[in-house]
Amino acid sequence: MKKVHAGIVGIERKLEEKRKETDQNISMAFQDLNKLMHQAKQMVDLSKNIATKIKEKKGDITEDETVKFKAYLLSLGITNPVTRETHGSGTKYHKELAKQLATILETPIKDNGGIMALTDVYCRVNRARGMELLSPDDLVEACKQFEILGLPLRLRIFASGVKVLELVSHAEEQAINQTVELLSSKGCLSADELSHIIGISVLLAKGRLLAAEEKGRACRDESVEGIRFFPNLFKTQSVG
Amino acid sequence: DESSQMAAPSDFEWPWQYNFPPFFTLQPNLETRQTQLEAWCSLVLSYHKHYKIFSLDVTEVQSSPLFSNSKINRKLPLDALYIVLEELRKKGNLEWLDKNRKRCLIMWRTPEEW
């Protein structure tokens, strides 16, 4: 076939050829992707097989094999905690991450009054990193390792479901005492006011007030003006 | 005791809790709530005894000074009001007059004491 085609027919042919080429490129890309997924699927199947095998053996010690296995799963992007949980606690990656987090966060948390909401932690860590960011799941998983590794930080979940990181040395009793003292001297406080006075976030101020209430040291007044907390006079003042 | 019943109605002495805003919010802490309910029960009883009222209408009593303190602008919500009344019933100081729990008798002495 001669390539010399003048006029509109020539242009149309050229366009047609170009279209075919891109078409081929696209379908090739998808074929590769299919192959890749097929291979990954085999990996997934294999890992599930191994998971059931580990289950049969019922090992509760962190054996090297399961640690290795978890690293495999992590690189695949399959989190299969239901079957993994009993076979090695967390992953090597999360453990290393936990150590790193402890070194980064100890000072900022100390400056923050010994406690920081997990969402704040997430912002700080990822802002500092810039690249290779952490996923929320990774952060939570890493935080769960703190206590096992004996690091100076601790993940705590309040009754409201709010997760915070606190210094192990951060004594809750002391925080409650301070809160109750402030309540007595001011008469009553809202979470907002408390956060201003001691310079912590509103979320944490509320957490403190609720903790004091839970311990029976404070009581609440709910009205259209919002929730305010008072010292628990029901307990301290005699009946009459 | 007898003479106090003869006193003018304005002489009723409110307990300190009446001017304490948290008194009008049902406390979530169970231990605190129990003390709060005790105080409410004794207030309701002494109030009825003082004014020699024997019955209580739930819709009417909501606006009565007994359950709303205009000075601190607080009012006991209806659900909390029912909890107080149920507590009184358990103690034997209250008897419902209808199934819908709208009217009841307040007995500042239990039937056994009469």
Distance CA B45, CA B93 (A): 8
Rounded Cα–Cα distance for residues A69 and A79 (Å): 12
Interchain CB contact of B17 with A (< 8 Å): yes
The answer to whether the Cβ–Cβ distance between A237 and B16 falls below 8 Å is yes
Measured CA to CA, the distance from residue B51 to residue A76 in angstroms comes to 78
Quote the pLDDT of residue A169. Answer: 74
Q: Which residues of B touch A228 (CB under 8 A)?
A: 21
Average pLDDT over residues B87-113: 86
CB of A213 within 8 Å of a chain B CB? The answer is: yes
> B52-70, pLDDT tens digit by residue?
888 889 988 888 899 999 9
Tell which of B17, B19, B24, B27 to mutate to test the A interface (max A CBs under 10 Å). Answer: B27
B79 touches chain A (CB under 8 A): no
Q: What is the pLDDT of residues B18-27, one digit of tens each?
A: 999 999 999 9
Helix, coil or strand: residue A199: coil
Vertex B77 angle, CA A212 and A186, to 5°:
35
Q: How far apart are CA B13 and CA B4, in angstroms?
A: 10
- Where in A113-217 does DSSP place strands (E)? 115-117, 153-157, 163-167
For chain A, residues with pLDDT lower than 50 are 240
Q: What is the pLDDT of residue A89?
A: 62
pLDDT of residue A174: 81
- For residue A238, the chain B residue with the least C-alpha distance is B16
Whole-number mean pLDDT of chain B? Answer: 86
Of residues A57 and B14, which shows the higher confidence score?
A: B14
Instruction: Say if CB A88 and CB A67 are below 8 A apart.
Output: yes
For residue B74, the surrounding DSSP H or E stretch is strand B74-75
Question: Could you give the CA distance from residue B80 to residue B36 in angstroms, rounded to a whole number?
Answer: 11
CA dihedral A50, A52, A54, A57 (to 10 degrees): -140
- pLDDT at position A62 is 63
| pLDDT at residue number A78 | 64
Better-predicted residue by pLDDT, A129 or B102? B102
User: Mutating which of B13, B23, B32, B72 best tests the A interface, going by the most A Cβ atoms within 10 A?
Assistant: B32
Note whether B87 and B106 are within 8 A (CB). Answer: no
Quick one: which of B79, B96, B94, B61 has its CA closest to B24?
Answer: B79
Q: Given an 8 Å threshold on Cβ–Cβ distance, is B29 in contact with A221?
A: no
A235 touches chain B (CB under 8 A): yes
Please state, in angstroms and rounded to a whole number, the distance separating the CA atoms of residues B12 and B47.
7
Is B28's Cβ below 8 Å from some Cβ in A? yes
B92 touches chain A (CB under 8 A): no
Tokens of A150: 């004996």
Strand ranges of the sheet holding A153-157, from the earlier edge strand across to the other edge? A115-117, A163-167, A153-157
**Of A168, A189, A211, nearest in space to A198 by CA:** A189
Residue B36's nearest CA partner among B82, B84, B91 is B84
Tell me if B20 and A233 make a contact (CB, 8 A cut-off). Answer: yes
Nearest to A203 by CA among A137, A123, A144, A120: A120
**Which tokens belong to B17?**
């809790």
DSSP code, position A239: P
User: How confident is the model at residue A90, as a pLDDT?
Assistant: 66
- What value does the mean pLDDT take over residues B40-49? 92
Q: How far apart are CA A179 and CA B63, in angstroms?
A: 35
Predicted local distance difference test score (pLDDT) of residue B31: 93
pLDDT tens digit string along A195-221? 999 888 888 889 889 989 988 999 999
Q: Judge: B39–A219 Cβ closer than 8 Å, yes or no.
A: no
Residue A86 has a pLDDT of 59
Across B48-67, b (16+ Cβ under 10 Å) vs e yields bbbeeeeebebeebeeeebb
Instruction: Give the number of C-alpha atoms closer than 13 A to the C-alpha of residue A65, restricted to the C-beta side.
Output: 10
Q: Which residues in chain B touch residue A231, judged by CB atoms under 8 angstroms apart?
A: none
In the structure, what pLDDT confidence band is assigned to residue B90 with cuts at 50, 70 and 90? very high
Chain pair A-B, CB pairs under 8 angstroms: 55
Contact list, A160 vs chain B (CB under 8 Å): none
10 Å CB burial of residue A237 (0-12, 13-18, 19+) is middle
- State the amino acid at position B87 in one-letter form: E
Residue contact A222–B25, C-beta within 8 A: yes
- Written as six digits, the tokens of A162 are 């709010």
What is the structure's pLDDT at A82? Answer: 54
Per-residue pLDDT tens digits for A106-146: 888 888 878 889 999 999 888 888 777 889 988 998 998 88
* Greatest pairwise CA separation for chain B in angstroms: 39
Calpha distance B90→A240 (Å, rounded): 22
Contact B94, B75 (CB under 8 A): no
List, as ranges, residues 138-167 from A with C-beta within 8 Å of B. none
* Any B CB within 8 A of A222 CB: yes
Within a 13 Å sphere around the CA of A214, how many CA atoms are in the beta-carbon half? 12
